[in-house]
Amino acid sequence: MTVRRPRTVLAMSAVARDRLFTPASLARLREVADVDTGVVLPELSADVEVLLTGWGSPPIDAAVLAAAPRLRAIVHAAGSARAHVTPACWERGIVVSTAAAANAQPVAEFTLAAILLANKGALAAARDYQERRTRIDALAEYPEIGNRDKTVGLVGASRVGRRVIELLRPFDLRVAVADPFLDDAEAARLGVELRALDDLLAESHVVSLHAPSLPATRHMIDRRRLALMRDGAVLINTARGALVDHAALTDELRAGRLTAVLDVTDPEPLPPDSPLFSLPNVVLTPHIAGALGTEVTRLGDAAIDELARYAAGEPFAHPLRPEDLDRVA
């Protein structure tokens, strides 16, 4: 097997580089590729073969490509590459990889925690305990709580959705999935029940969103569909805020019929006077489910792994293709 060191440029902000790569991983990167790790966002030279992109990367349009006639690959050390991989890249036949699978891990972990806490009634119990500040008879007051024999509905068998499915396997939960790209055979392989979206909403104790934000999915969880959810159900959104009609959701939350765990909103951030900040049955987090802190270097390591595959003449393990764009964030 021939292994070479392709000429590579870091097309990201200096902050992204410093968060994505440790000194050890930068040393490994220099072993894999011919790259100056001390330089970011330079003018592209004609010999550049690979762009290693991340947060702060500019759009790679026709003008950028004209300056880099030998560019053959883009390795994105983050989740969504939609903002900078333009149609001109696909027209040129450039191969693209993303670290979306690595970013899916912390999102799935956050989702798992939210599901287990929601079924255990922890959100309501914590609120009640804080207000009363006295002993609570949990057996009498919360007879339906628990992580056994509950239905968890996942909207989207995306990378995150599939990782959530894996993490839920040790628990005595029924897992249903709504996804137009999933068939019965694949659902059986995943060990889940395939459901139409309306049926999933009506059956589930917890609904977690893992669909991409596209024109077709905007407000897919609208007033009619929110009304289908059972009383006391919990809606978790770690995907994109635009999937949910927030005016309709606010009405349901004000009525006390549902609970929501929202890591993403529309708009983001919410205006300071949004009632979602103060409603007792809402948990708002500031878009923290994805890779942050100690998790970020996982994305850098994943990108170096992909670059090593490319240098060895192997296909990417996590490619992004034009036909995937209708399914990914």
For residue range 122-145, list pLDDT tens digits in order: 988 999 999 999 999 999 999 999
For residues 57 and 84, the answer to whether their CB atoms sit within 8 Å is yes
For residue 96 the two structure tokens come to: 């693209």
CATH 3.40.50.720 is held by the domain 8-98+293-324: yes
For residue 73 the two structure tokens come to: 């690959």
For residue 257 the two structure tokens come to: 């019929």
For residues 263 and 238, the answer to whether their CB atoms sit within 8 Å is yes
Lowest mean pLDDT among 72-76, 81-85, 295-299: 81-85
Report, as residue numbers or ranges, the catalytic residues: 240, 268, 287
Of 26, 1, 99, give the one whose Cα is nearest residue 314.
1
- Cβ neighbour number for residue 181 with a 10 Å cutoff: 10
Give ranges for CATH 3.40.50.720 in the chain: 8-98+293-324, 104-284
DSSP label at residue 242: G
Summary mean pLDDT of the chain: 95
Answer yes or no: pTM beyond 0.85. yes
pLDDT at 105: 97
pLDDT tier for residue 2 given thresholds of 50, 70 and 90: low
What is the CATH architecture assignment of 104-284? 3-Layer(aba) Sandwich (3.40)
Peptide bond into 269 cis (omega under 30): yes
For residues 234 and 206, the answer to whether their CB atoms sit within 8 Å is yes
Residue 113 buriedness (CB in 10 A; 0-12 / 13-18 / 19+): middle
For residue 29 the two structure tokens come to: 């990167």
Q: Number of helices and strands (H, E) in the chain?
A: 13, 12
pLDDT at 285: 98
